[in-house]
């Protein structure tokens, strides 16, 4: 193996490393964009359900209020919001309760 082939191999390795780094950056951007789009969709669904007076799921409620689902669970444990009774394993929140919290915190959409 000559010096030329060693240099060529080193250059190829450097290009591969740069490409792998760029792929990782693009994958991270895609994941973030997908998450933002999902939140926007959940927020839009929640706003429509609130106008109709329908119950909201935990992810929809969290997106509408601009908090995480974990924060919503803590709010529920603290008694700030109650889930709808007798819904089996589904966790739903009444539109009026979600709207009350949103208007109280200034996060109404």
Tell me the domains of the chain and their CATH numbers: 3-105 (1.10.1660)
Taking residues 55-61, report their average pLDDT.
Answer: 93
Q: What is the mean pLDDT of the chain?
A: 87
Q: Is the pLDDT of residue 46 over 60?
A: yes
Please state, in angstroms and rounded to a whole number, the distance separating the CA atoms of residues 64 and 45: 9
pTM tops 0.75: no
Give me the pLDDT at residue 50, please: 92
Q: Which two tokens stand for residue 90?
A: 């589904």
């Amino acid at each position: 193996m000559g010096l030329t082939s060693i240099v060529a191999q080193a250059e190829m390795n450097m290009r591969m490393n740069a490409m792998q780094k760029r792929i990782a950056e693009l994958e991270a951007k895609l994941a973030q964009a997908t998450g933002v789009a999902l939140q926007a969709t959940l927020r839009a669904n929640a706003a429509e359900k609130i106008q109709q007076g329908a119950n909201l799921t935990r992810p929809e409620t969290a997106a509408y209020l601009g908090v995480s689902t974990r924060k919503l669970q803590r709010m529920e444990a603290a008694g700030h919001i109650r889930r709808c009774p007798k819904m089996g394993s589904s966790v739903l929140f009444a539109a009026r309760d979600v709207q009350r919290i949103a208007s109280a915190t200034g996060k109404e959409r």
